[in-house]
Amino acid sequence: MQLEKGKIYDGKVTGITKFGAFVEIEKGVTGMVHISEVANGFVSEIKDHLQEGQTVKVKVLTIAEDGKIGLSIKKATETPRPPRQQNFRRDDKPGGNNNFNRQSNYSNEKKQNQPPANSFEDMLSKFKQNSEEKMGDLKRNIDSKRKSGSRRSGPKS
């Protein structure tokens, strides 16, 4: 059997290391599942998720020229996302559906009630203003400590 990139296979865990697990897909063909491809969440110990001899579904991510096969368990078990709905304009739809036009107006009203998204320039100017205020406060604090420190030492003889 010839392996195909992107295809899902059943395999058997043949070995576990601290950085991944080795999975035999067919007799004599073994690939590696990196620790980052074992589960959707953070994996600190692979042994918490897999055991040797366990049968798992794996997706072939890479097949290198030297024969190394990169596998993923989490991508083999992921549920595909539903396709995004396309937004049509009224004149794009044949017949000019009035219900579609009402829905479009409703979504425009929702957008108008939301506060406007800040532009990059607005966010940058706010950041600069906050930074200048913090730097001014820090400088005043340091200056006041320097002045109070010189008073404590008293005159030198």
CA 60-66-69 angle, to 5 degrees, is 15
Closest by CA to 39, choosing from 82, 68, 77, is 77
Domain ranges of the chain: 8-77
Residue predicted with more confidence, 148 or 56: 56
| CA-only gyration radius of the chain, Å | 31
Residue predicted with more confidence, 28 or 35: 35
Which is the CATH superfamily of the domain at 8-77?
Answer: Nucleic acid-binding proteins (2.40.50.140)
Residue predicted with more confidence, 119 or 36: 36
pLDDT tens readout for residues 127-147: 889 999 999 988 888 888 887
Predicted TM-score of the model (pTM): 0.49
pLDDT of residue 143: 87
133 backbone dihedrals φ, ψ, rounded to 5°: -65, -45
> Contact, 20 vs 32, CB < 8 A?
yes
Cα separation, 64 vs 153, whole angstroms: 72
CA atoms within 13 A on the CB side of 103: 9
2: its two tokens: 């010839």
